[in-house]
Structure 1
């Protein structure tokens, strides 16, 4: 007798200790959690939104980004210069792409006579930084420099305007060997410069390519000549290779906003912003969360209750008439009056719902003993003014009363 009882007790104990079996305490905890979630649904929704936004921001920052910087040798887009970088590499030119000012200086000092390509589209480098780059490089090619950059270089080259729209293709027009060998290049959207030896002149003495007297500085006023989009057109590739491939080492430097404080003289956006701006972001986040909680709360389901409101037919008719009057809808009012009259006449004359307007007009004329053409002319009349509409409606009302009294 003891064996079966012991076995049953052991089985019950195993059932109670089974981790997969639901327990009463777990059900109570789940019910309490669901009740709390229903009570604080606004806060829970706000937490989900904030968590999703943070996950999106973190994922965006950590995700690998493609190079989309204009004139970058790693950018394969139309504005990039990846094709030119590969061509220069095939010609034995080692292209280095530093991303900071200190790295660019180090790359220049590590070579005997390097060439520097400088494209400072934001003008973040100051005169001291530019002087350090020029002194460390054997030859400098500056692409579409700003006025401040040209002034800091102090090479005697000055900006003289833009290439006219009527000159999409420019001829060398100078004795500079690189330009003469390359031939025609794209002039669309380019800038022209004066001073030194100028080539690719659209009009006058200013040209899209200017070379200093000592030949160490060349100013190119077009990014299209170096970009992927038009590199295979005209002599763009030839001019780019001859201008940048004179040395075995090429430092391709595109300054960024981070280089503005490389020597401690510039200011970043954080430096220019007021002191209270750092608290603006957290404050806006708190306000957004408060708005979500405030507007996200619900005080229960909506209850629809029929209201004991009765609107008289005469009030609705008068209101519609005033709308027609305010909008000068004479034609629409005439159509409504005519349709209503025909329906009432057909009901009075027992013609049925399928009776046409001609059948109703003919039956009304027979009942009144009138000419059907006259009744038809009255009913089908189209008043053009409000005064005529009132007179016409009065005549229609008189006709209806005559039929109703028969």
Structure 2
């Protein structure tokens, strides 16, 4: 059996009973493969609309990136609207731009509607490490305001020091519509909402085969599900054998996270007085925030090829102490890695393998909000209104050059290039 990794989130998760393993043959309207945010959001939107839904998870709900991430609600996509406009044209940009801030609102609505206890706090900071990045934040603010976000505030170097007890930053953009959460508790709360709405969830039920057809048949080792529609939502934890076409278009990458011992309340408040979450503007960015029990949670770095490094402290602690040297000597209570799914374009990949088999994957580090949007779009598509889903589905899905055998060295070369750009500030 696969259990949650030994993370701070698993240790502080809300009490929850495990879901059963599939041991029978079922029929339903929609079978969802994957119990992370993409699958949970899809299932919840669908059961709310009256669909008979079965969700299959290979391990535990929130086992993958959804239960291990930095817990930040960050708007837009991994490629922002200026890149989308330049790359895909004005019409696509208008459509995708109209959805840039919807995922965050879906999360807030879910928390309120189902009373999900996940330590939600409002507000997130994008911080600049140099003048060039600060000018980029000015441009980002203008671009986001063009698409309707009127909750943005630009901070100069003096004002950002009022928000973060660090001398590293030359400015920041405060997005009051961003925020942070306990991500595993959000996933568990959404799963419970699905159950309460009549959806059926099975854990420890890895899918071994999807037989395409009408209906499709989704098979596990001990059972199967016949469904009118299938949603493949495994993302970085789908593997390469179940649907190889999806694997060729994406690559799992790892990020590392540490969480300190609980800090004195006054120390925690001194670090981030308004309890905003923070991410910097580097290509290989750092991100951090306070937890509900006054720990500093700090993450960063990218390990290509989904390897789990054994020296997380060596990778993260220099970054943490460069940001907050006043924490020298602090004890780390938890350290873990998690995988996210990277695409060559850095844009999410939505589409169809057959008329009744859909997939959503590859949020490329922006998964918390984009996955929640994805669930709403797939529910729209299944009821016959696919315009917004197809705005993503029509984007080109490029395979990585050289196939899977060359993915890791190719992308590692890119990481080295971007790391050099970060260090040079260009």
TM-score normalised by the chain length of structure 1: 0.22
More helix by share: 1
Bigger Cα Rg: 1
- Which structure has more relative contact order (CA 8 Å, sep 6+)? It is 2
TM-score normalised by the chain length of structure 2: 0.21
